[in-house]
Amino acid sequence: MDLQILSELSNDASISVPRLSKKINVNSSVVYSRIKRLVKRKLIERFTIVVDDKELGYAVKAVAGINIDTKQRDHIIEELFKIDGVREVAEVTGRFDILVTIYSKSLDQMHKMVSEKIGRIEGIQSSESFIEMKSRMKAMPYMPSKDSN
All structural domains of the chain, each given as residue ranges with its CATH number in brackets, are 2-49 (1.10.10.10), 53-131 (3.30.70.920)
Q: What is the pLDDT of residue 144?
A: 59
H or E segment at 109? helix 107-112
DSSP 99: E
Per-residue confidence in pLDDT tens, the chain, 149 aa: 899 999 899 888 999 999 999 999 999 999 999 999 999 999 999 998 888 888 999 999 999 999 999 999 999 999 999 999 999 999 999 999 999 999 999 999 999 999 999 999 999 999 999 999 998 887 766 665 554 44
**143: Cβ contacts below 8 Å, ≥ 6 apart:** 3, 4, 6, 7
Q: How big is the CA angle at 24 (ends 22 and 28), to the nearest 5 degrees? A: 50
Question: What's the rounded Cα separation, in Å, for the pair 44 and 86?
Answer: 25
Strand ranges across the sheet with 124-131? 86-91, 98-104, 60-68, 124-131
pLDDT at 149: 44
pLDDT at 62: 97
pLDDT for position 137? 82
> What pLDDT is attached to residue 49?
87
User: Which residues have CB under 8 Å from 141's CB, separation 6+?
Assistant: none
- Centre a 10 Å sphere on the Cβ of residue 67 and count the other Cβ atoms it contains: 14
- Beta strand spans in the chain (E): 60-68, 86-91, 98-104, 124-131
Using an 8 Å Cβ cutoff, are 97 and 91 in contact?
yes
